[in-house]
Structure 1
Amino acid sequence: MVNFLQVFLIAVSSAVILNVFLKRFELPTIIGYILTGIILSQIYHFNVDDGFLHIAEFGIVFLMFSIGLEFSLKHLMTMKKEVFLNGSLQMLSCGLVFTLFVMAILGLVDKSAFVVGFALALSSTAVVLKILNDNGDINEQYGRKALGILLFQDIAVIPLLLLVDLFSSNDANISQLLLTTFVSAVILIALLYFIGKYLVDTIFRFVIRSNSQEIFILTILFMVIGASFLAHKFGFSYSLGAFIAGVLIAETEYKHKIEADLAPFRDLLLGLFFITMGMQIQFQIVFENWLLVLILICIVCLFKLGIVFGLLLVYNNKRIALKTALSIAQIGEFSLAIFSLLQTRNMIDIKTSQILIVVAIITMIITPFILNNMRKIANIFEDTSLNSNTQIPVQNLQKKPKNHYIIFGYGRLGQEVVQRIKMIGVPYLVLESDLNLVELGISRGENVHYASAAQEETLKIANIEECAAAIITITNEAKLEMLCGILAGLKKPIDIIIRVDGNFEKVFFSSIDEHIRIVRTEKVLAKDLVQEALECVINKN
């Protein structure tokens, strides 16, 4: 019998040493956890049992609960296009294409091929959302679109699991199964809604009066696990119950404290989940079929990338479509559960199961490198368009403005800056290269113009040399460096207000002249930027 304490010590020490080493090269901890699982499997040669997998799965449960906290019901309804339209189109198109591929390449029969094809269409909620949360891109446009598709995929896991039960049972009653699922879903949502609306506030007030942090954390754990347990009892995944619970609790005033207290449990259990993934790899089968593994990785990633990019390009610009497609090009953790289940139901053999599991794990290992370099990859395509002969000038202005603020970027921070400036009553002009954001600003009656700030003609039309100050709200480092270089090279110097983080400041602003004002607050507020801009005007006068 394996000594549990010994396994635990080896696992923890391996994870710590590997992740400290990888962090020196700015590599994600996910890789360290997977390598830890591989080390454990090589030392002890034991398989991961169902009980261990259930414990590990709660890393995803807590992650989905945390994501749910960020989205109230009203917020979620505003994402119905991202969730239901984008998600359904992605699942159907990718699922059908991959079904044909696995029939041709792996020789699977129609029922098994159908489930495997749609399982390959799933992406990794655990990997993608963790990284998007860590780097703050979950609030970017592409982050919201990726989140919407991932949420739909998590919902799609339910019918996929039902299909496995249906296909593996010859006497299953389809109509009865569908009816039971529908009734269960209605009861589950109604029950969690009732608890969230009428009981959660009362429970938290009662717990907070005890003035005990331990009881508060214990209450949170009970709610998350309780919601997951209810969902599982009604035949759904644990993570779906946790997500619904998070959405409901997001309506309360305790969401931020809950999120902060839950983070350590979420991250540790996510680490355990990735350790179990590494433990499931059987290298003998992998080495014997390395070429097939490589072919499947290329097919799945490239086709998923191409399909999602093509679908989103219909009503999004190229940059957002590309970043969203790159974000979800991998295979997900729920796919691993489906592959294992198919093997236990004798719908696929162990060789096919191992090949699919390794393909999924490798794509998840690659994903952090893609997400952490997302802007650089997207800039390659954007720089090509900027250097082309196609000009994107700002719309002609009836009268050239003077003593005005020019705001570069109409993202979330740019929108807040505009609201502050409108309250002061100073004339302003916004330059934005994202057509969706331009349309949003125009719909609000704001002075937003579709333009590329990299072109000198644009700056001339905006009368850059007679502006009161330029406020830069964009976060893309490459575009930021390029824009600052252009503004610093103007014949007549202008005051520039910019927000940067510490790392970028060291690289680019080693020598800062008197016309550049930097706001260094960790979480930049629009009022800080506007205050600096007002001081520029006062100093001039």
Structure 2
Amino acid sequence: MEQILEGFLLVAAISVALNVIFKKFQIPTIIGYIVTGTLISEFFNLKSNDEISHIAEFGIAFLMFTIGLEFSFKHLMSMKKEVFLNGGLQVCLSGFVMGVMLYYALHLKDETALIAGLAFALSSTAIVLKTLNDNGDVSKIYGRKALGILLFQDIAVIPILLMIDMFSSQDASINELLLKTFTSAVILIVVLFLLGKYVINWIFYKVVQTNSQEVFIATILFLVVGASTLAHFFGFSYSLGAFLAGMMMAETQYKHQIEVDLIPFRDLLLGLFFITVGMQINFVVVLSNIWLVLGLVFSIMVVKAIVVFAVLNIYLKRRVAAKTALSVCQIGEFALAVFGLMTTRNLLDVQTAQIFIAASVISMFATPFILKKLDVLADLVEREVVVESNETLKPQKLKNHIVVFGYDRLGQ
């Protein structure tokens, strides 16, 4: 118990100190958390374990839940082009190109190169959505396009995990695995839909009558963790279950209060998640393969950016396509889980997995800086057109009108 408290104290002290320093230089707190994880792993020999990683993963789940609160089922269907067309093309094209690169450059087996290429096609939901949320850019055109791609990537984790099972298992047939996944998806969606339509409103009505904020928060936590665990039970990611739970609660009249009450838990667990990301860096492997790691980071980010830009440039302005492409060009946190699973299933050797993990973390480390300079970088592709008007606004006589101050979440 004392060791746990000492470890917690050390992590809290380092993360607070680093973020205070980094804030003076306008460096995002995400970087502070990743550096904290790297420092405590390298110099204090504190290593991430499965229990900590599972708890930290709920940081992404809570983030996806708050995003789900902004999207009803009707809203999601209105984004089907962003999710299924843009996201599908991005994952398939990026995964194929990077799979071919890995096959010839690192001489990986066919199936290993394919799965690794698809894993590298995934972007960081945690970093991108947190930054878009903080900047209020989720509702902008490039924010919607990025969100659609990220949502499809969350869904794409399922077939990627299915491939790992197929290539590492000698028992189950492909048809059996596909049937099992399809059946699980149908059951999960039906269960959550029925709960959202007939049960959730009644539960919150009863909870609100208690006039207890503690009971209200406990109910939210129970529903989020419950939906995430249910999704995981059926073989899907925690974050996908949390996103569906958020969409269920978006239909209730309590959505804004739910979001406000959940933010502290979300941010705390997200911080823990980024610390565990930093703890996965092995400096010995990174330094001994530094040029390979950096070359991998550069190649993957460039390929992903080009693919997304090419897909979106067909029907969007070049500037919007460029901003979206730069937003999702990094390697995501789910790739770390995929590489870990590939290692345990003997599809990937430990050293190559460490190189892939190091490349993933470095790309995530660079992402907040890219997002911070997104407009400047987009200007290199196409400058933003500013329309100036010399017309003088004339006063109008209004009656029985509404004045809205600000246009944040409550205004919307």
Give the superposition deviation at 1:172. 2.1
Tell me which residue corresponds to 1:173. Answer: 173
Cα 1:70/1:524, change in 2 over 3 Å: closer
- Aligned pairs for 1:164-203 within 5 A: 164-203=164-203
Note the aligned Cα RMSD (angstroms).
Answer: 2.0
Structure with the bigger percentage of helix: 2
1:117 matches 2:117: yes
In the TM superposition, 1:379-390 aligns within 5 A as 379-383=379-383
Aligned partner of 1:469 among 393, 402, 405: 393
Q: Which residue of 2 aligns with 1:33?
A: 33
CA distance 1:211–1:348, change in 2 (3 Å): same
Q: Distance in 2 between matches of 1:348 and 1:2?
A: 37
Conserved? CA contact 2:322–2:381, under 8 Å: no
In the TM superposition, what whole-angstrom CA distance separates every residue of 1:411-468 from its partner, at most 9, and x where no partner exists?
xxxxxxxxxxxxxxxxxxxxxx6xxxxxxxxxxxxxxxxxx626xxxx6xxxx4xx44
Deviation at 1:380, TM superposition (A): 3.6
Equivalent residue, structure 2, for 1:103: 103
Rounded to whole Å, the distance in 1 between the matches of 2:190 and 2:35 is 42
Higher strand share: 1
The one of the two structures with greater contact order (alpha-carbon pairs below 8 A, sep at least 6) is 2
Which of 453, 457, 474 in structure 1 is aligned with 2:387? Answer: 453
User: Is residue 160 of structure 1 aligned with residue 84 of structure 2?
Assistant: no
8 Å Cα contact 1:59-1:272 kept in structure 2: yes
Other structure's SS at 1:137 match: coil
Q: Distance in 2 between matches of 1:350 and 1:38?
A: 19
Say which SS state the counterpart of residue 138 (structure 2) adopts. helix
Partner of 1:27, secondary structure, is: coil
Q: Using a 3 Å threshold, how does the CA distance of structure 1 residues 260 and 524 change in structure 2: closer, same or farther?
A: closer
Kindly state the Cα deviation for residue 171 of structure 1 after the two structures are TM-superposed: 2.1
CA distance in 2, matches of 1:202, 1:340: 42
In structure 2, the residue matched to 1:235 is: 235
Match of 2:333 in 1: 333
Query: 1:54 and 2:54 equivalent?
Result: yes
Match of 2:226 in 1: 226
Q: Over residues 70-96 of structure 1, what are the superposed CA-to-partner deviations in whole Å (9 max), with x where a residue is unaligned?
A: 101111111000000000010110000
Whole-angstrom CA distance in 2 between matches of 1:77 and 1:122 = 22
Matches within 5 A, 1:519-538: 523=407
The one-character-per-residue Cα deviations of 1:33-65 (angstroms, maximum 9, x if unpaired) are 011111211234243222221111000110111
Equivalences for residues 161-310 of structure 1 within 5 A: 161-310=161-310
- Which secondary structure does the structure 2 equivalent of 1:211 belong to? coil
Amino acid at match of 1:85: L
Counting only pairs closer than 5 Å after superposition, residues 359-398 of structure 1 correspond to structure 2 as: 359-383=359-383
Match of 2:156, SS state, is: helix
Asked if the contact 1:122–1:332 (Cα under 8 Å) also holds between the matched residues in 2, the reply is yes
Give the distance between the partners of 1:358 and 1:339, measured in 2 at CA.
Answer: 11
* TM-aligned CA deviation for residue 379 of structure 1: 2.7
Q: How many residues align?
A: 403
Deviation at 1:248?
A: 1.1
Residues 16-38 of structure 1: CA deviation (Å, up to 9, x unaligned): 11111111111111111011111
Map of 1:508-527 to 2, 5 A cutoff?
Answer: 523=407
Tell me by how many angstroms 1:224 deviates. Answer: 0.2
Which residue of structure 2 lines up, in the alignment, with residue 354 of structure 1? 354
- Structure 2: how far apart are the matches of 1:88 and 1:520? 39
What is the alpha-carbon distance in structure 2 between the residues aligned to residue 292 and residue 302 of structure 1? 15
Measured in 2, the distance between the counterparts of 1:217 and 1:271 equals 20
1:521 CA drift (Å)? 5.7
- Look up the match of 2:399: none
- Are residues 227 and 470 of structure 1, via their aligned partners in 2, closer, same or farther at CA, if it must alter by over 3 Å? farther
- In structure 2, the residue corresponding to 1:330 is in which secondary structure? coil
Letter in 2 for 1:71: F
Task: Calculate percent identity across the aligned residue pairs.
Answer: 55
User: Hey, what's the Cα distance between the residues in 2 that align with 1:228 and 1:71?
Assistant: 17
CA-CA distance at 1:174 after TM superposition: 0.8
Separation in 2, partners of 1:163, 1:63: 27
Find the aligned partners of 2:48 and 2:288 in 1 and give their Cα distance. Answer: 22
The amino acid that maps onto 1:232 is H
